[in-house]
């Protein structure tokens, strides 16, 4: 596999972790964790857009 493929897999795993944090925030009703996970997912989205734009 090429380096770009590993990078994409890594960002997808970061996305999954953000979704898990988001689910935990919703379950516990923790607004700080909720906003942190939303910010995390938006940031990962920007990085994924950059990875896609290089292809």
pLDDT value for 26: 96
pLDDT value for 25: 96
pLDDT value for 55: 64
Q: Cα–chain-centroid distance for residue 34?
A: 13
Locus of tokens 């997808």: 12
pLDDT in tens, 1-55: 677 888 889 999 999 999 999 999 999 999 999 999 999 999 999 988 887 777 6
pLDDT value for 7: 87
pLDDT value for 42: 96
């Amino acid at each position: 596999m090429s380096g770009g493929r590993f990078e994409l897999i890594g960002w997808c795993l970061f996305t999954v972790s953000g979704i898990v944090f988001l689910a935990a925030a919703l379950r516990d009703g923790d607004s700080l964790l909720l906003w942190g996970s939303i910010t995390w997912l938006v940031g990962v989205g920007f990085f994924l857009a950059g990875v896609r734009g290089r292809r």
